[in-house]
Amino acid sequence: MDRITLTGLTFYGYHGCLPEENKTGQPFYVDIVLYVDLRAAGNSDDLSKTIDYSNVYHIVREIVENHTYKLIEAVAEAIAGALLSQFPVDAVDVTVHKPQAPVGGLLQDVAVTIERSRYDDILSQPGGQCRA
């Protein structure tokens, strides 16, 4: 499957379970993988046949900077849902990094990665299996 990857998107947000995190904020980094057929774009060299990654960046930025979540898992879900609903992609991987997570010790990074498909709801329903 073809992919568009955006790595290290950098934002300042107010996500966390502690009141200080919601008040002072901290940096968050986001990695996105969009699974989409890129043949038409590659053959035509036409931006309208692909996903404009500047639009992806602005959607992710709006979610991370203008909303507050307790969990980075919720940030990742919001991003995945927005990207799946706004772009003709088959699936997305979203990784949200929280390098200043308050764990009571030194660490380089805490991150969650989720994988979501536009077919997840169909496959999770009873009888929602793909048939050949």
Active site residues: 98
How many angstroms separate the CA atoms of 109 and 73, rounded?
A: 15
Q: 106-116 burial, b for 16+ CB within 10 Å, e for fewer?
A: eeeeebbebeb
Strand order in the sheet with 111-117: 3-13, 26-35, 91-97, 111-117
- Our CA angle for 13, 16, 19, nearest 5°, is 100
